[in-house]
């Protein structure tokens, strides 16, 4: 797939996730073959008003390219001004959030609330497209609720406004992240417009990636929660679509090594205090499904230093080795 004039390598991109897709995680996912990564959503109003946190969220490093920066808001002019600021980062695209279901975003007219106002959504897209030279993409949902499935109508308006690609999360705002995913609406959007359509929703592995492509005919995939504690999912999907073969899951030692590298980057970019506290959720995702994971969770909740994390990783590895020896005996 091409995003504007940029040729993407790989089959799946990293979805924007607040509190998760920061610089450290984006770098790890690029290393494992994500076609591109997207920042956490950033308030357009915050950017234009010089908010320090918003500016920090917009920071893009060389090791995470190609990257897209996502902004949210409901005022066309403010969004356009923010898009210009985003363009200065050197990212490959500006993404407009039209799907966030969080009350603090949708409740103020941004995110998924734009699904209820297609004219305003297209006005915002038009303003951003005319403000920058890089591609503008939009991330939408199937609709606000089951009685207002309007992704096709909105997608057509966004294409007319000049959007370069549209990501469709196959759920309504009311569903939040609960099953099921509406693959049919993603297919209808794909059939209705000529720009690339990116399928999003419950893509967690090779099987679900293949199913999404088959059911929707979409041009590309976007993975969110499926990458939590498993950034190698991008490499597995790329390898399968390239060779037809399924790669084995990484061993416990590799999983722990990736976890330590990831959290080391977190601490480098955010400082030890913030980095180690954010590390707790990531460590929980990295050990999910492993032997003894439940007993390790209390320890994870008290992590404060990299030394503690490394000792935890050693015990996780030892637990797995013990389980393996018991199986042989």
Active site residue 100: yes
Q: How many CB atoms lie within 10 A of CB 180?
A: 10
- Asked if 218 and 212 count as a contact pair (C-beta separation under 8 A), the reply is yes
Which residues on adjacent β-strands are paired with residue 13?
A: 222
The string of DSSP codes covering 211-248 is HHHHHH--SEEEESGGGTT-TTHHHHHHHHHHHS-PPP
Rounded to an integer, what is the distance from CA 302 to the centroid of its chain? 27
Q: How many CB atoms lie within 10 A of CB 19?
A: 8
Q: Identify the active-site residue in 29, 100, 138, 267.
A: 100
Q: Are 94 and 58 within 8 A, CB to CB?
A: no
Q: Which two tokens stand for residue 258?
A: 């990736």
**H helices, E strands: number in the chain:** 14, 11
Sequence-separated (6 or more) residues with CB below 8 Å from residue 322: none
Residue 117: C-alpha distances to residues 41, 71, 122, 151, 153 (Å): 20, 18, 9, 12, 11
- The residues, any chain, with a CB within 8 Å of residue 242's CB and separated by 6 or more, are none
Terminal Cα distance for the chain, rounded:
50
Task: List the beta bridge partners of residue 69.
Answer: 94
User: Are the C-beta atoms of 139 and 96 separated by less than 8 Å?
Assistant: yes
Q: What is the DSSP letter of 41?
A: P
Q: Locate tokens 């090594």: which residue? A: 257
Task: State the pairing for strand pair 2-3/6-7.
Answer: antiparallel
The set of catalytic residues is 100
């Amino acid at each position: 797939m091409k995003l504007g004039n940029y040729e993407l390598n790989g089959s799946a991109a990293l979805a924007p996730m607040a509190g998760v897709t920061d610089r450290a995680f984006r770098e790890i996912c690029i290393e494992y073959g994500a076609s591109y990564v997207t920042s956490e959503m950033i308030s357009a109003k915050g950017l234009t008003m010089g908010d320090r946190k918003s500016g920090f969220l917009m920071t893009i490093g060389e090791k995470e390219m190609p990257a897209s920066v996502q902004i949210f808001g409901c005022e066309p002019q403010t969004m356009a001004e923010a898009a210009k600021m985003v363009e200065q980062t050197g990212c490959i695209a500006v993404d407009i959030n039209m799907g966030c279901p969080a009350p603090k975003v949708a409740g103020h007219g941004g995110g998924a609330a734009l699904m209820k106002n297609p004219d305003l959504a297209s006005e915002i897209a038009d303003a951003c497209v005319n403000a920058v030279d890089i591609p503008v993409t939009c991330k939408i949902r199937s609709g606000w609720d089951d009685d207002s499935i309007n992704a096709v109508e909105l997608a057509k308006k966004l294409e007319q406004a000049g959007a370069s690609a549209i990501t469709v999360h196959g759920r309504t705002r009311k569903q939040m992240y609960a099953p099921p995913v509406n693959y049919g609406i993603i297919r209808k959007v794909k059939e209705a417009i000529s720009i690339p359509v990116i399928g999003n929703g419950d893509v967690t592995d090779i099987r679900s990636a293949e199913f999404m492509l088959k059911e929707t005919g979409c041009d590309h995939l976007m993975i969110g929660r499926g990458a939590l504690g498993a950034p190698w999912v991008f490499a597995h999907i790329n390898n399968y679509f390239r060779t037809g073969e399924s790669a084995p899951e990484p061993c416990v030692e590799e999983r722990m090594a990736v976890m330590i590298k990831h959290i080391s980057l977190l601490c480098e970019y955010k400082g030890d205090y913030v980095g180690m506290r954010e590390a707790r959720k990531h460590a929980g995702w990295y050990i999910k499904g492993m032997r003894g994971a439940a007993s390790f969770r209390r320890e994870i909740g008290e992590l404060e230093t990299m030394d503690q994390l490394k000792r935890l990783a050693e015990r996780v590895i030892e637990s797995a080795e013990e389980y393996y020896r018991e199986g042989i005996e």
